[in-house]
Amino acid sequence: MGGLCLFRRDWRKIGMVLAGEPARFFKIAKKVVWEEPEPWIWKPKYVDDDKRRVGRPPEFMARPLVMLCLWRIYSGKSYRWMEGYLEGNHEFRHEVGLGDEWPAYETIRRAMFYLDESYLRRLNKRILAELKKTSAEGER
């Protein structure tokens, strides 16, 4: 029944495709996110008296956090898994634009909470369209 289907699959080919998936996704996501205007995730709070900012400025730029939020949606992983993945992959952090520091899982979750849903849907739609295009070109 179901076991026969799994037995006949060539898992090595599937593994090879999935191995390059994060790099392919982030190459396309970086292009798409940098073409869009930067989202203002954290709105500054002002004191009414002299219009100066109140609160700590954000630790990380908005675009790398947007890319991490999109990767979380695409991969279906948890916030804690993403924190561990970022901690262990130095090259990946630099490719995303985080440098030597990485956000905690709570920072990624907070960024996802503050982002506008329509903004994320628009970016996700563009990224998936690009992924479909590149996979169709690769099959030819």
SS (H, E, C) the chain: CHHHHHHHCCHHHHHHHHHCHHHHHHHHHHHHHHHCCCCCCCCCEECCCCCCEECCCCCCCHHHHHHHHHHHHHHCCCHHHHHHHHHHCHHHHHHHCCCCCCCCHHHHHHHHHHCCHHHHHHHHHHHHHHHHHHHHHHHC
CB 86 within 8 A of CB 103: yes
Asked if residue 44 is part of any domain, the answer here is yes
Report whether pLDDT(2) > 50: no
User: Residue 58 corresponds to which amino acid?
Assistant: P
pLDDT tens-place string over residues 116-137: 888 888 998 998 888 888 776 6
pLDDT at 56: 64
Question: Region 78-100: what's the mean pLDDT?
Answer: 85
Asked if residue 46 is part of any domain, the answer here is yes
Q: What is the pTM of this model?
A: 0.71
Report whether pLDDT(3) > 80: no
Burial degree of 118 (CB within 10 A; 0-12, 13-18, 19+): exposed
Q: When comparing pLDDT for 39 and 40, which is higher?
A: 39
Asked if residue 40 is part of any domain, the answer here is yes
Give the separation between CA 131 and CA 29, rounded to whole angstroms. Answer: 10
Asked if residue 1 is part of any domain, the answer here is no
Pair of tokens at residue 15 = 């593994």
Candidate ranges 27-36, 44-53, 93-102; pick with highest mean pLDDT: 27-36
Rg (CA), the chain: 19
- C-alpha torsion sign, points 64, 69, 34, 16: positive
Report whether pLDDT(12) > 70: no
Asked if residue 80 is part of any domain, the answer here is yes
Q: When comparing pLDDT for 22 and 34, which is higher?
A: 34
Asked if residue 26 is part of any domain, the answer here is no
Q: Cα–Cα–Cα angle for 114, 57, 33, nearest 5°?
A: 50
Give the percent of the chain with pLDDT over 90: 2
Q: 60 lies in which domain range?
A: 36-134
Asked if residue 112 is part of any domain, the answer here is yes
Average pLDDT score over the chain: 76
